Structure 1
Amino acid sequence: MGGDLAEPLVGRRFSPSKRQRGVGHFAVLTLGATGVVFGDIGTSPLYVFQSIYNEQLHAQPSEADIVGTFACIFWAMSFIVCVKYVGIVMRVNHHGEGGTFALLQTILSGSPTPLGPRAKATVTFVAMLGCSLLLGDGAITPAMSVLGALEGLPLESLPRMPISPEAVRTLIAALVIVGIFSVQRHGSRVIGLVAGPVMVLWFLTIGGLGVRSITLHPAAAARVAEGFHPRALYTFFAVGRYRGVDAWRSLGGVVLCVTGAEALYADMAHFGAAPITATWLALVYPSLVIQYAGQATHLIAHASEWAETHPFYSAVPSTLQWPVLGLATLAACIASQALISGVFTLLAQAHALEFIPRIRVLHTSEKEKGQVYIPEAGRLLGLVCVTLVLAFRSTDRLSAAYGIAVTGDALVTTCLLSVVVWRVWGWRLLPWAVLLAPLCCVDVLFWTSNLVKLGTGVGGWMPVLLAASACLAMHTHYWGRLREKKGLARA
């Protein structure tokens, strides 16, 4: 395997001075992380409740259903993001870098005894699969985010146009995506400093809207507060109207509240674990919890209006509709940046490990060498995103693709983490099982609930096809390089 196990995969990290390590530098990284890392998960309130009931369960929810759904959302964010990624996974890094290849390098370089050829080949293939799934998600997320943002534009109310409103949105979305990828060469630090204030304002806004709904409807808010108790999960899955299979199917929509969680780990090289963790715990997580609680409160208070309301926009005061719509559009366009930055990091790591052909990796910051840009990958990924926009034209057609790659990558991360805990950390069987069993069970539940989307048409297969193509290409190149090295060694 290529690459020096003792060195960072994407270059030697810059050693900052005391001044650069101070509060100011940390604040810059925190602001950048807010704009780059949390855009995807931060815009999920725009469509989570709607997806669960309109696309997964196809029914109008009752009061108990809404409480159960809020419980699923709250506990999914708390367990998957707070416990799994922030509490455990982000503690595993390779010279400050994250992602599946960082886990792979930790396994290969940190094991007290070398892995056998078969075990090494297995963990390498699993890491390639995880990277490929994230690449597939990185192609779908920009198309989904931009299309979703532009669907809020009321083009139908404009005078008659020579082309349909859907065609107008499609063309605008394609142009926006071209614009997003054209600024990637400036690096995640510059993009984060520009997008950071927008996302800070977004999180403060959705938190404020949640507080408003809770204070306007205290009785409904008290009912929603029951969702903070684990008992609400049991009621939803075992006793409620959608108990059993239907409750399991609803996880295909619930997973949207944690899409982007994998970016926290993949983007560690860009901003570091501490700024990402601080931003999540101090701003993003509280704002999201309050917003989802406010949405649930508003839905309970206006249950009879479900068919005519949008779970997010219906709670916005009429005087703020247009400003919030504009802010939501900007935030949704920024949402794709988390996956794009993660894709660049993983491809730079794959290049260092000789899993892909030689490519040009540009370091966009002298202070954080993990901040990279790959021109060839940017152009190819942008082309795929534009193609998806032109082919699917709406989030309804593309939504089936959302979630499969994310949950697959989360499961791969847990599998590699289990090897790290067992071989590198040296945990005994019982504590190893106590830690990993809950993580694995939750990942399998979400992954299997999303596999149902494969039967909804070509959209469901899109991330699988993209991931399979990327994995096949990496494995073929890696296998060819090994054969070449063996041939040279014999010569």
Structure 2
Amino acid sequence: MSENIKSSQFTGLTLSAIGVVFGDIGTSPLYAIKEVFHNGLTTDIPHILGVLSLVFWSLTLVVATKYAIFIMRADNKGEGGIMALLALALQTAKNDNQKTNRIITIGLIGTVLFYGDSIITPAISVLSAVEGLEIIAPKLDAYVLPTTILVLGVLFAIQARGTEAVGKLFAPIMCFWFLTLAVLGAINIIQEPAVLKAVNPIWGIQLLLEEGWKGFLIMGSVVLAITGAEALYADMGHFGLKPIRFAWFSFVFPALLLNYFGQGALLIGNPSAIENPFYLLAPTWALYPLLILATFATVIASQAVISGAFSLTRQAIQLGYSPRMEIQHTSGDEMGQVYIPAVNWLLMASVFILVISFKSSSALANAYGLAVTGTMITTTMLAFIVIQKLWKWNTATSTTFLATFLTLDVLYFLANSLKIPEGGWLPLTVGLGLFLIFTTWIKGRALLAKKMDEKRVLFEELEQKIQAGQLAKVKGTAIYLAKTLHGVPQVLMHNLEHNRVLHEQIIVLTMVTKEEPYVDEANRLKVRVFGDERNFFRVKLYFGFMDQPDLRRALHLCRNEGLVIDEKLASFFVGSEKVSFRRKSPMPKWRRALFRFLLHNASSAIEYFRLPVDQVIEVGIRIEL
């Protein structure tokens, strides 16, 4: 996203960013303060000021300083997020396999923990909003769970239709939400202005020292106020660095602080309001409208997380970390808007199970935090690699960055690790399962590529076989999809050996995903010609991890290189690998069945690259690993 934008565009991007980027962190006031005191903390003035001080400095140091000022500078051609940062960090490990594997491992840990967050965020956000029914009309408490399930069910059901139309409502609703947060908070602060003393970090430090071990537990709940910080960085490619920063510092950050301090002021005057300090900020007549507004805000926050899961999955597929899945594009204008059915329904089932199992936002809060803080740790580590190796910061400065923010991240993570028995096990279990899937897929594909590379035939050898053999020549173009960048693919050799047919024009086509979000059209294509008859072509197509591989569009670019292809007379040859394992295979026994399952259920190249089905010939290739 270019930062050279007109003022009108800047305003539009800033408003859009408010509608999308800050949904998660913007709905934290619904439950954050309540959960801190639910650990048994006394609601007296020193404790209230101490908690507010910890919230204030957490937002200031982690969100405003670490993410908005430092991390967001690490853009990959304008794109942000864990995958973009991982791709940047990998640029520092060229030709160093050990370092590459370490960096990929760090990035994958952050990725799988994001999915844990994607499951918990919709559940806790919507549930905490609907729990307002218990405050408005206690007799309606039996309807909290059914209403939550209904709202979430509708949200997941409309994903296939795309969010373009609904997305236009996000900005005005979220702007009104943050304005409401600020007004409710300011009204209560005016009544108890002494609450502003909490800006002094001494109050937070005194609370931690006084509570000792219990203070450690408090930090595990304070982190709820900064959930959603990762979205500032992840959505940078859609809205740009400056609009997101401006929206945060000028509007969102002040609104959040006013609301948190307003809740603190309310508790100073009425400690019993800890039952639900967010809703009790409002006068009685405003409770129903506030409930409706909060529900809309949490749905928007959930939508942003779900869309983020779709986008992250697409990036993982492009980079080769995940099996291919069916991807549907829901917008003709925004190529970033995608829908992945498998991910959507798995998320929905997981969220429903969470809501039904945990039953309240307080119980879910125990599961929250670990995934968020784990992702923050991996982001800090990857950012340190980029700062030190790509930006060439001196050792003292880069080490200070790492020590400061990694210490904070680890502190939050350890505090949340105490919640593992009460629900923190959930994101860890989800993350571990996905980590095994990703690493098994990566290892299996690497072994498969190595085995196919061992069997590769050089073009010179192929030419000799063609000259020696009696092959029937037919009109048209044969396009062989190859995974390797060198040699002749096995599917071509199988076709020549068994069918003994040679097309008048042969193209070996390989698609390569680069460690950058987008590839310019000018650098999309490389064509190399072989043979005396100049009828054998090696074509390499380059895509970024945010690009949608458009095979037909890319073939049109071949004309610029003098390669004319009549699509009506073209046949696409695709290899379908059937894998078996030797007794002493490098693949561990416990991974073998999982890899076969993933390979069997992965979306085929025919569907993924949208090849014309009636022109595709799929050739089975059995490979022993």
* CA shift for structure 1 position 209: 0.9
Pick aligned residue for 1:483 from 441, 447, 450: 447
Greater share of helix: 1
Mapped contact 1:34–1:192 kept (Cα < 8 A): no
Report 1:242-281 matches (<5 A). Answer: 242=211, 244-281=212-249
Shifted more, 367-376 versus 169-178: the winner is 367-376
Counterpart Cα distance in 1 of 2:116 and 2:246: 28
Q: 2:147 aligns with which of 172, 187, 196?
A: 172
Q: Quick one: distance in 2 between partners of 1:257 and 1:350?
A: 29
Give the structure 2 partner of residue 42 of structure 1: 26
Corresponding residue of 2:266: 298
Aligned position for 2:112: 132
1:55-87 per-residue CA deviation (whole Å, 9 max, x = no partner) reads x3x132221111111110011001111111111
Please say which of residues 357-366 and 168-177 is displaced more in the overlay. Answer: 357-366
Give the structure, 1 or 2, with the largest relative contact order (CA under 8 Å, sep 6 or more). 1
Change (3 A) 1:234 1:157: closer
Alignment RMSD (CA, Å): 2.3
Task: State whether structure 2 residue 416 is matched by structure 1 residue 434.
Answer: no
CA contact (8 A) 1:356 1:478 kept: yes
CA contact (8 A) 1:198 1:331 kept: yes
| Whole-angstrom CA distance in 2 between matches of 1:435 and 1:358 | 37
Counterpart of 1:299, as a letter, is: L
How many aligned positions are there?
455
Q: Quote the residue 2:416 is aligned against.
A: 450
**Matching residue within 27, 31, 37 for 2:15:** 31
More strand by share: 2
Q: CA deviation at 1:367?
A: 5.5
1:466 aligns with 2:430: yes
Asked if residue 360 in structure 1 is aligned to residue 326 in structure 2, the reply is yes
Q: Choose from 89, 92, 104 the match for 2:74.
A: 92
Q: Does 1:215 align with 2:180?
A: no
Amino acid in the other structure paired with 1:177: L
Counterpart residue type for residue 385 of structure 1: V
| Counterpart secondary structure, 1:265 | helix
- Residues 35 and 191 in structure 1, CA contact (< 8 A), matched pair in contact too: no
Between the aligned partners of 2:266 and 2:447, the Cα distance in structure 1 is 62
SS in 2 for 1:153: helix
After superposition, the Cα gap between the structure-2 partners of 1:62 and 1:158, relative to the gap in structure 1 and judged at 3 Å, is closer
Residues 399-455 of structure 1 show CA distances to partners (whole Å, capped at 9, x for unaligned) of 211111001110111111111111111122111112221101100110000000012
Question: Structure 1's 360 and 29: CA in aligned 2 closer, same or farther, altered over 3 A?
Answer: farther
Which stretch of structure 1 is more off in the superposition, 73-82 or 359-368?
359-368
Structure with greater Cα Rg: 2
**1:232 aligned onto 2:203:** yes
CA distance in 2, matches of 1:434, 1:250: 26
Counterparts in 2 of 1:36 and 1:67: CA distance versus 1, 3 Å? same
* Inter-CA distance 368–232: structure 2 relative to 1 (3 Å threshold): farther
2:286 aligned residue (286, 308, 320): 320
Q: Name the structure 2 match of 1:8.
A: none
Q: Which residue of structure 2 aligns with residue 67 of structure 1?
A: 49
Aligned to 1:60, the other structure's residue is in SS state coil
Query: Could you tell me the TM-score, scaled by structure 1's length?
Result: 0.87
Gaps of 5+ in 1: 1-12
User: How far apart are the structure 2 equivalents of 1:74 and 1:36?
Assistant: 23
Q: Is the 8 A contact 2:54 2:201 kept in 1?
A: no
Q: Against the structure 1 CA distance between its residues 156 and 417, is the aligned structure 2 distance closer, same or farther, given a 3 Å change threshold?
A: closer
Please list the CA deviations of residues 253-296 of structure 1 after superposition, one character each: whole Å capped at 9, or x if unmatched. Answer: 10010011112222223333333222212211010011111111
Match of 1:51 in 2: 35
- What residue ranges of structure 2 are gaps of 5+ in the alignment? 456-625
Alignment of 1:153 onto 2:133: yes
2:323 counterpart SS class: coil
Equivalent residue for 1:345? 311
The 10-residue stretch of structure 1 (385-394 or 193-202) with the greater mean CA deviation from structure 2 = 385-394
Letter in 1 for 2:446: L
Q: CA deviation at 1:186?
A: 4.9
Classify the secondary structure of the residue corresponding to 1:401: coil
Provide the rounded CA distance (Å) in 2 between the counterparts of 1:277 and 1:428: 26
- Is the 8 Å Cα contact of residues 125 and 302 (structure 2) preserved in structure 1? yes
**TM-score under structure 2 length normalisation:** 0.69
Deviations 1:150-187 (A, max 9, x none): 2212499588xxxx954x43232222112112333454
Q: 1:115 to 1:258 in 2, by over 3 A?
A: farther
Name 1:4's counterpart in structure 2. none
- 1:79 matched residue in structure 2: 61
